[in-house]
Amino acid sequence: MAYDYDDQNIFAMILRGDIPNDTVMETEHTLAFRDIRPQAPEHVLVIPKGAYVTHDDFALNASDAEIVDFTRVAGKICALLGVQPGEGGAGYRTLSNAGDDAIQEVPHYHLHILAGRNLGPMLKHD
Ligand code: 5GP
């Protein structure tokens, strides 16, 4: 079953310029901006400009050019934030929520980049 893309989602509105965002980096295929409710001192969202819903949708259906651009932007954001462990930075976490079990809020594919404090264990259990 293919994904239906809801073009009224909040990130589609950001991409259209209907609502403002705090842009960190923009390229031909990718936009990176600060999360409106940051969960760490650094919390950047990286999104493709194309209409993809989840990581699997993007990874399986986007063009090579889109995927390369997106992946490079994510790396450049880590460099920009100065958090690359291999460069003396303190590290970071990337994650992407998809669908109901992951409680995906916005149905436009996005990668969270979180950094700036000890982020604790990957998942908290009840
Ligand atoms: P999800 O739960 O879908 O993985 O994450 C969606 C993220 O988008 C949340 O961290 C939320 O704070 C962020 N977000 C929701 N609406 C807006 C918005 O209008 N602007 C920005 N910059 N971030 C948003």
10 lines ligand 1 (CB under 6 A): yes
For the stretch 17-24, contacts whose Cβ atoms lie closer than 8 Å and that sit 24 or more positions apart, written own/partner, are 24/77, 24/80
The CATH homologous superfamily of the domain defined by 10-115:
HIT-like (3.30.428.10)
pLDDT in tens, 27-75: 999 999 999 999 999 999 999 999 999 999 999 999 999 999 999 999 9
Contact present, 121 and 110 (Cβ < 8 Å): no
| Boundaries of every domain in the chain | 10-115
The separation between CA 75 and the C-alpha centre of its own chain, rounded to angstroms, equals: 12
**Stated pTM of the model:** 0.97
Catalytic status, residue 125: no
Residue 46's nearest CA partner among 17, 78, 13, 19 is 78
pLDDT at 111 over 70: yes
pLDDT at 110 over 70: yes
pLDDT at 1 over 70: no
pLDDT at 124: 79
Distance (angstroms) between ligand 1 centre and the Cα of 17 equals 16
